Amino acid sequence: MNRWYLDEKSLPDAWFNVLPRLSVPLDPPLHPATRQPVTPEDLAPLFPTALIEQEMSQEPWVDIPGQVVDALRLWRPTPLVRARRLEEALHTPARIYYKDESVSPAGSHKPNTAVPQAYYNKIEGVRRLSTETGAGQWGSALCFAGALFDLEVKVYMVRASFQQKPYRRVLMETWGGSVEPSPVDQPDHPGSLGTAISDAVRDAASRSDTHYSLGSVLNHVLLHQTVIGLEAKEQLKLAGEDGPDVVLAACGGGSNLGGIALPFVPDEDVRLVAVEPTSCPTLTRGKFEYDYGDVAGLTPLLSMYTLGHDFVPPSIHAGGLRYHGDAPIISHLVKQGRMEAIAYPQGKVFEAAVQFARTQGTVCAPETGHAIRAVIDEALAAKEEGVEKVILFDYSGHGLLDLAAYDDYLSGRLPD
């Protein structure tokens, strides 16, 4: 067999909360002016109450509302796939499985949190959402979720991606969203996730009908993404595996990695690996300290690995990995030694993405290519060591709107 499906009724009915399971508690976010821990009231202008509660919740499981489950059923549960042809090409004894999150309407894992975020805002009477997007995957996901729950969505898109990916904008507009390049006040600036977050937070803070929505980094976002790992656990059992030896995913802000890896945190013998670009090496070269989530210093201070909130990464094609910080949960796991981190230049990433396309057929997002690079190296190491290893990774998105990046790679125009 190559693919394992769960029926719609097996979609998880609760999210997995890692917070009460951490042996050392997470540092709290701090108010940018007072440097005291933020209170729910501080966050109320930006987020609905339910998400603020989830951000701080110590409940081991958080129920998924029925209307959210109904919307997730448009594409979930997603398949678990065994990459047999890649294994054969590598002559590896490793068994490689991936969770295919590219089958969602927006083409990535991002709708797993866009849908609940839109739902909670809607039931609290919010009319409009503002957000940032890097590669365009998150903006697309929120516009799609906004269409489901009849919310207006304004997306600030990192200018470098806005120029590289016109079709992502068209997708967002098709779902009824509106898109503006960021930073809004500096037309020559390539932008970064940090500048786009500043623009989106400013928008939400200046309008009473608008809340802000973040596609990664925060605890509640990683919580919503745990449906990926929960389903994968069931599907690996169906595939006859006791469990994975190693779980890998690309890491930008940490949401797809958190989604697939957090349910495995209590399984101490499972290795967890974050994969990032060498040009934006937050976990591998950054400092662990409190920093702002955005360039302008409008957000709370988060305890995380960071390259500095004013760091502007080069315009690599994996726009979703160009973030100066990382989720506090992911940073904490790396700091505590529970998770490893590794970085690759984009040439090596595209080499792996093309090998995957030529064996498995599907063309991945440049972000996902980072995970595939690391998976191939894990599988080759297993061959060297002569050990059978079960590798699980998150196929976080397809690359069908990223073909300009493949064109650059195939024509030798891609700088590392």
Ligand X SMILES: Cc1ncc(COP(=O)(O)O)c(C=O)c1O
Q: By C-beta, is 164 or 255 nearer to ligand X?
A: 255
Nearer to ligand X by C-beta: 252 or 313?
252
Instruction: Please answer whether residues 69 and 341 qualify as being in contact, where contact means their C-beta atoms are separated by less than 8 angstroms.
Output: no
Compute the distance between CA of residue 227 and CA of residue 102 in angstroms, rounded to an integer: 14
Part in contact with ligand X (CB under 6 A); list of ranges 88-96, 146-154, 304-312, 361-369? 361-369
Q: Does 213 bind ligand X (CB under 6 A)?
A: no
Beta carbons of 115 and 145 less than 8 angstroms apart: yes
Total chain residues near ligand X (CB under 6 A): 21
Radius of gyration of the chain (CA): 20
| Closest to ligand X by CB, 329 or 379 | 329
Q: Tell which one of 18, 316, 365, 379 touches ligand X (CB under 6 A).
A: 365
φ, ψ for residue 375, nearest 5 deg:
-65, -45
The answer to whether 393 contacts ligand X (rule: CB under 6 A) is no
Q: How many residues does the chain have?
A: 416
Separation of alpha carbons 283 and 301, rounded Å: 17
Q: Which residue is nearest to ligand X (CB)?
A: 320
Residue 165's φ and ψ, nearest 5 degrees, are: -130, 70
Contact 244, 270 (CB under 8 A): yes
- Only segment of 21-29, 133-141, 143-151, 240-248 that touches ligand X (CB under 6 A): 133-141
Q: Which of 256, 279, 282, 315 binds ligand X (CB under 6 A)?
A: 256
Q: Does 131 bind ligand X (CB under 6 A)?
A: no
Task: Tell me which stretch binds ligand X (CB under 6 A): 58-66, 227-235, 249-257, 346-354.
Answer: 249-257
d(CA 316, CA 313): 8
State how far the alpha carbon of 125 is from the alpha carbons of 45, 128, 211, 343, 413, in Å: 13, 9, 10, 42, 49
Indicate whether 216 belongs to the interface with ligand X (CB under 6 A).
yes
Taking the complex as a whole, the smallest distance from the CB of residue 282 to ligand X amounts, in Å, to 10
Of 45 and 105, which CB lies nearer to ligand X in the complex structure? 105
Residue 184: how many CB atoms within 10 A of its CB?
A: 17
Minimum Å gap between C-beta 275 and ligand X is 10
Select 203 or 367, whichever has its Cβ closest to ligand X: 367
Euclidean distance between CA atoms 58 and 51, whole angstroms: 13
Minimal distance, residue 156 CB to ligand X, in Å:
14
- Closest Cα partner for 114 from 236, 259, 215? 215
**Stretch of 37-45, 131-139, 278-286, 404-412 contacting ligand X, by CB under 6 A:** 131-139
Continuous H helices in 206-263 = 219-225, 227-238, 255-261
Token pair in block for residue 223: 């919580």
- Asked if 328 touches ligand X (CB under 6 A), the answer is no
**Beta bridge pairs of residue 131:** 155
Q: Is residue 30 packed enough to be buried (19+ CB in 10 Å), middle (13-18) or exposed (0-12)?
A: middle
- String marking each residue 85-124 x if it binds ligand X according to CB under 6 A: -----------------------x----------------
Which tokens hold the place of 133? 């997007």
Name the minimum Å distance from CB 145 to ligand X.
15
Of 135, 155, 261, 375, the residue at the interface with ligand X (CB under 6 A) is 135
DSSP 30: B
* Interface pattern 281-320 for ligand X (x via CB under 6 A): ---------------------------------------x
Q: Nearest distance from residue 102's CB to ligand X, in Å?
A: 8
Q: Contact between 396 and ligand X (CB under 6 A)?
A: yes
The binding site for ligand X (CB under 6 A) comprises: 108, 134-135, 137-138, 216, 250-257, 320-321, 365, 367-368, 396-397
